[in-house]
Structure 1
Amino acid sequence: MIVTRFPVDDAVLSALHARAFGVPVAVKAWAAQLERHALTWVGAFDKGALVGFVQVAWDGGEHAFILDTAVDPAAQRRGIGIALVRAATAEARAAGCSWLHVDHEPHLDHFYRAGCGFRPTQAGLISLDSHDT
């Protein structure tokens, strides 16, 4: 089941994020961050368990941004990620946004382009970590 703006449990979302990205679990204050900065967020639930997540940040105007797309490895390859991004896209459109952006690693190009309909664009990136400058 796909649910927008669901009540976020920081520990549950942090654990999903850790599984999806293969990183150690570190509980993050997701609920407060989303309430403050996100246009919306979308969760995928299977028998009540959170198995997927995406958030949409925005500039308060025409531009929205897909962030943190995550699907539990045990639930991947079932169309959950595509359903999440499509729901997020619909939410951004309904909010009056004209553009939806996503940055991703090269191995996700097929997912975002063929699966979700994004087209390639040129973009730039500056690392703000002091050790990367």
Structure 2
Amino acid sequence: MVHIAVDPFPADDIMRVLWLSAWGDAGPASWQPVLSRSLVHVGAYEGEALVGFVNVAWDGGVHAFILDTCTHQDFRRQGIATKLVKAAEDAARARGAKWLHVDFEPHLTEFYRACGFRPTEAGLVAL
């Protein structure tokens, strides 16, 4: 059974296993600087294994940003990512955020719309 944990601060080696499964690379050398600056992060666990994750970055005020939503490939299509995003939304609201933003690729449109996000116009510069 998968349980959701708010701000679990997973160790780098645990994050690396999930990230490798979800994204195909090892991710950052250390997640600790990222997690320490987040408004909130949420993990999905089966026992001790981290099987899903979402991070919420913020501007220190009212704007929060969903980042890094992922689920281990062996746990996809079970509603875990939806539960993660909902838990992140609830925690961001409780911590004072008024707006929750998300950028995503077109193939994720249906997922994020089902999570309650609506389309907006935005700008982007690749750095």
TM-score interval for Structure 1 and Structure 2 normalised by the shorter chain: over 0.9
Aligned residues: 125
Alignment of 1:57-72 (within 5 A): 57-72=57-72
Whether 1:9 and 2:18 are equivalent positions in the alignment is no
CA distance in 1, matches of 2:75, 2:107: 18
Whether 1:85 and 2:81 are equivalent positions in the alignment is no
CA distance in 1, matches of 2:86, 2:9: 20
Bigger drift between 49-58 and 23-32 goes to 23-32
Give 1:32 deviation, angstroms: 2.5
Tell me the alpha carbon deviations over residues 52-88 of structure 1, each in whole angstroms, 9 at most, x when there is no partner: 0001000111100000001001101000000000000
Give 1:118 deviation, angstroms: 0.3
Tell me the alpha carbon deviations over residues 66-113 of structure 1, each in whole angstroms, 9 at most, x when there is no partner: 000010011010000000000000011001111000000000000100
How well do the aligned residues superpose, as a CA RMSD in angstroms?
1.1
CA distance in 2, matches of 1:79, 1:26: 24
How high is the sequence identity, in percent, across the aligned residues? 50
Q: Are the equivalent residues in 2 in contact too, given 1:2–1:44 (CA < 8 A)?
A: yes
Distance 1:63 1:27, change over 3 A: closer
Q: In structure 2, what residue type is equivalent to 1:40?
A: V
CA distance in 2, matches of 1:27, 1:67: 14
Bigger drift between 9-18 and 69-78 goes to 9-18
Q: Which runs of 5+ in 1 are unaligned?
A: 129-133
Task: Please report the TM-score for the alignment, with normalisation by the length of structure 1.
Answer: 0.89
Deviating runs (4+, > 6 A) in structure 1? none
Q: In structure 2, what residue type is equivalent to 1:118?
A: F
CA distance in 1, matches of 2:109, 2:27: 28
Q: In structure 1, what residue type is equivalent to 2:25?
A: P
Give 1:26 deviation, angstroms: 4.9
Q: Which runs of 5+ in 2 are unaligned?
A: none
Task: Please report the TM-score for the alignment, with normalisation by the length of structure 2.
Answer: 0.94
